[in-house]
Amino acid sequence: MTQQSQNFGFHFENSYRTLPETFYAQVPLNHVSDPSIIIFNRTLANELQLHADKLSKYGAAMLAGDEMPQDAAQIAQAYAGHQFGHFNMLGDGRALLVGEHVMTDGKRVDIQLKGTGRTPFSRGGDGRAALGPMLREFIISEAMFSLGIPTTRSLAVVSTGEPIYREKVLEGAVLTRIASSHIRVGTFQYAANFCDKEELKALADYTMKRHFPEILHAEQPYIAMLEKVIEQQAALIAKWQSVGFIHGVMNTDNMTISGETIDYGPCAFMDTFKPKTVFSSIDTQGRYAYGNQPAIAGWNLSRFAESLLPIIDEDVDQAIALAQATLEQFPSLYETYYFSEMRNKLGLLTTEEMDEECILQLLQIMEQFEVDYTNTFRALADNVRSKTPFFESEAFKVWEKKWLLRIEQQETSLEEVMHVMQSVNPVVIPRNHLVEEAINAFVEGDSTPYLTLLHLLTNPYQIDEEHEHFTQPPNDDIPPFVSYCGT
């Protein structure tokens, strides 16, 4: 172990290891031949109070999982989950939880390495990851953060210097992921299906202490925790929908209790507004289509509630009744958050009875004319009307009159309205074709397109003339984008 690995500024406390050992497995290090940091998030390192200069210069071995500080946890977490509706035993098959880094204000985050090699949960896989998918998670997660959407974040991507073998030989890499925690709905499903009641209770109590300490002494603490998770997920999915983000694989093991977006495998951003849009190669039935995401979130939350039943109440019927009554809050909570996001996108700064109809009418016209989702809202925000069939249609003109009249009734200036709209309607998003082009160039040795796109995505609400082509949807001659679970 090098001296440098002791001095990167990490302060590890490994509270997760206070849980029963059934929730994790100690993992031996899988050494790599030639670790090298190829992209480093200095801004995030500073936010985490790490020694950015030293970590970026000497930290490759640690960030590749080749060596660990003495106080590291070095574990893989156990969990289960419904994958496309089918229940499976899962777990960290290629991820290593280094530990929980605690900052001076007491904030605690997981430091996890993704792609470090086999664990007891690998199920036959090699536990490694390829460079392209790790670059993809890095850029999408940082774009999501810049859009104000709760998300895991990416600290670094390290090349391992070793090949990995898929359909072809690829360059190996490890991503350093930062999360409030990696406790998932699937973690609770694992506890409910493979552990005893006391172990389930230990997980729930630990989760409350870590994420919701304010409810520890509630009259019904596990119902209170269910309410918290429901509210956070309602707010999260509303933000996804408002920017046209499609997760692509909303399995229960990919829903965090903390309310952060996790796992950027087959995700993508919608160009043309179509609620049935699917990008994932494995979602052949459209289960996780854009328009289905709120309902799937509700379904996942029901699985979370089922897992909590044994500790909600000794009386099974009473436990079910309490859980069901709590779950019924989700649809209205989601609608409240969603329409709040959409009001801001349209500059509706007060709440009026007809707002929802106004929003839905616009979306209906957008779907009819198959317009670009992001660019349409930004055009409204910039008060720009191009000569397109959509903007010149009678349907839009009728809608626009009603919308402008609604804005006039707010007694706010048009300047103030436009300012709000421009602050929430991005100019640039991680468009699928641009992300793929940038990643492919990086893998081939040219990092400039990737770093340029990353820079633009960290300030998504404005762009200069030089980079306006980053706002354009793909040309018609580009094949439809298909994403894969490479991460």
pLDDT in tens, 99-135: 999 999 999 999 999 999 999 999 888 999 999 999 9
**Total domains in the fold of the chain:** 2
> Is 460 a domain residue?
no
What local confidence, expressed as pLDDT, does residue 117 receive? Answer: 95
Q: What is the pTM of this model?
A: 0.95
Choice among 66, 110, 253, 372 that is catalytic: 253
Question: Taking all residues of the chain, what is their mean pLDDT, rounded to a whole number?
Answer: 95
- pLDDT tens-digit map of 442-451: 999 999 999 9
- 477: annotated active-site residue: no
Residue 4 has pLDDT above 50, yes or no: no
Nearest Cα neighbor of 258 from 214, 307, 212 is 212
Residue 174 domain-assigned (yes or no):
yes
When pLDDT is cut at 50, 70 and 90, the band that residue 413 belongs to is confident
The answer to the question of residue 184 being in a domain is no
pLDDT of 1 reads: 40
| Cα–Cα distance measured from residue 35 to residue 174, given in angstroms and rounded to the nearest whole number | 9
Per the domain annotation, does 209 fall within a domain?
A: no
113 domain residue, yes or no: yes
Query: Which residue, 405, 424, 443, sits at the end of a domain?
Result: 424
Distance (Å) of CA 226 to CA 94, 239, 302, 333: 29, 20, 10, 13
Nearest to 483, CA basis, from 240, 277, 185, 238: 277
- The answer to whether residue 2 scores a pLDDT higher than 50 is no
Alpha helices in 382-480 (DSSP H): 394-408, 414-424, 432-443, 448-457
Among 133, 159, 179, the domain boundary falls at: 179
| 3, pLDDT greater than 50 | no
Q: What is the mean pLDDT of residues 391-412?
A: 95
For residues 346-367, average pLDDT: 96
Q: Look at residue 378 in the predicted model and tell me its pLDDT.
A: 98
The whole domain housing 83 covers 4-179
82-105 pLDDT, tens digit per residue, is 999 999 999 999 999 999 999 999
Q: Is the pLDDT of residue 483 over 80?
A: no
Three-state secondary structure call for residue 358:
helix
What does the CA dihedral 228, 231, 235, 238 come to, rounded to 10 degrees? Answer: 140
45 part of a folded domain: yes
482 in any annotated domain: no
Beta bridge partners of 184: 256
Which among 288, 244, 59 is positioned nearest to 149, based on CA atoms? 244
Q: Which pLDDT band, with edges at 50, 70 and 90, does 475 fall under?
A: confident
What's the pLDDT tens digit per position in 279-328?
Answer: 877 887 889 999 999 999 999 999 999 999 999 999 999 999 999 999 99
Whether residue 69 is predicted with pLDDT greater than 80 in this model: the reply is yes
With a cut of 90, say whether residue 181 has pLDDT above it: yes
As a whole number, mean pLDDT of residues 236-255 equals 97
- Whether 239 is covered by a domain: the verdict is no
Q: Which amino acid is at 315?
A: D
Domain boundary, last residue among 424, 457, 472 = 424
Element of type H or E holding 236: helix 221-243
pLDDT of residue 124: 83
